[in-house]
Structure 1
Amino acid sequence: MVDKKGKPTPKRKEAQAKLNLSPLSPGASKESKKALKAQTRIRRMESRAAYMRGEESAMPARDKGPVRRFVRNYIDERRSFAEYFLVIIVVILFLTLIPIPAVQLLAVAIMYSSMIFIGVNGFLMSRKIKKLVTEKFPGEPTKGLGLYGWMRSTQLRRLRAPAPQVGPVTKK
């Protein structure tokens, strides 16, 4: 059997006063809040710009270190079929809207064959990246590097973050 508490619930102000809690910004004016918001926005923009430039201090943990930089540069200096996959899929989507069964069948065949090709290519690229990293950085763990490189290779070059530091190598 539960007994009644015998007194009314205290108001929030009273409970906070009892616990010595205060609001986050007591008495802050609208101007100071706006200024703080603007400063925070500027700081965030500067941090984002540093990240996109590839500055090590602005990188999240998943992108830090010389090994990850090596993998990014390895991927960025090559063009790959995988980076155009999203564009190909959009074209295939429009092809499937054409009410001719042969065109639709061809579009689906292209989609599945490109998915298989990109999957096999990604697997082989992953193995090659791990091999190169163990040669260049002996003793460094290679866990996750293959998938890191493969995922980067599937992004359009101009949408990669951090931005590519090297240009694609042209064959002569």
Structure 2
Amino acid sequence: MFGRKKDADRAGSTSVTAQAPLPERGAPGAPPAPRQTAGKGRPTPSRKEQEAARRRPLVPEDRKAAKAQSREAAREQRLRAQAGMAAGDERFLGPRDKGPQRRFARDWVDSRFNVAEYLMVVAVLALFILFFPNQYVATYGVYAIWALMVLGAVDAVLTTGRMKKVLQAKFGSVEPGVRWYAAMRSFTMRRLRMPKPQVARGQRPS
């Protein structure tokens, strides 16, 4: 008897609990609302698309076109650097040509006639004179080359000496190697000088 009563009470409490209404959302004691996740804004790629993306090559498909494009870009950069160096742009000059004093030295040499710049022309002519049938003509040709070399050296010493005084007055001091730099430029033909001359002959350098 007592066992049946306990079973009946248990069944009754269970039915009451099942029929009790759930509290509304937001009310005290109500369970929290499930958190909603924000969408990605794009559909999830399929497995086939993911595998295709992983198999995509790291290098471009048309290697020949990519290589040609790379060569063209390198060529344009090289031409731009050569043009900048010829114009005396400091961004493209090497350590040997950089600096305001070396720019002034270039303008100083380029603004005048230099005896040594014709040495190369005379040397080429002397090669033909050396094979001249007349021995006296060949001998005099060698003497002419030596005389031009001596005159060119004397002219370079005098030119750089005057330039050094102007540099000291303009900059306060002379950097090491600037005088030798100007002398070597005076021994180069004007059209072969690099950077290209930026002043005309007879024009006073600034």
TM-score, length of structure 1 as denominator length: 0.77
Contact 1:73–1:165 (8 Å) recurs in 2: yes
Among 97, 105, 126, the alignment partner of 1:71 is 105
User: Percent identity among equivalent residues?
Assistant: 33
TM-superposed CA distance for 1:56, in Å, is 1.8
TM-superposed CA distance for 1:128, in Å, is 2.4
Which SS does the other structure have where 1:63 is aligned?
Answer: coil
CA distance in 2, matches of 1:164, 1:118: 19
Flag structure 2 segments of 5+ consecutive residues without an equivalent.
1-57
CA distance in 2, matches of 1:61, 1:157: 21
Q: Is 1:144 aligned to 2:177, yes or no?
A: yes
**Greater C-alpha radius of gyration:** 2
Which residue type is aligned with residue 167 of structure 1?
A: A
Q: What residue in structure 2 maps to residue 119 of structure 1?
A: 153
Flag structure 1 segments of 5+ consecutive residues without an equivalent.
1-25
Contact 1:80–1:153 (8 Å) recurs in 2: yes
TM-superposed CA distance for 1:96, in Å, is 1.2
TM-superposed CA distance for 1:55, in Å, is 1.5
Q: How many residues align?
A: 144
Q: 1:151 to 1:144 in 2, by over 3 A?
A: same
Among 17, 33, 37, the alignment partner of 2:71 is 37
Q: What residue in structure 1 maps to residue 196 of structure 2?
A: 163
RMSD value, Cα: 1.6
Residues 29-83 of structure 1: CA deviation (Å, up to 9, x unaligned): 1221221111011111011111111222221121112111111111111011111
TM-score, length of structure 2 as denominator length: 0.65
Tell me whether 49-58 or 83-92 shows the greater mean CA deviation.
49-58
The higher relative CO (CA closer than 8 Å, separation ≥ 6) is in: 1
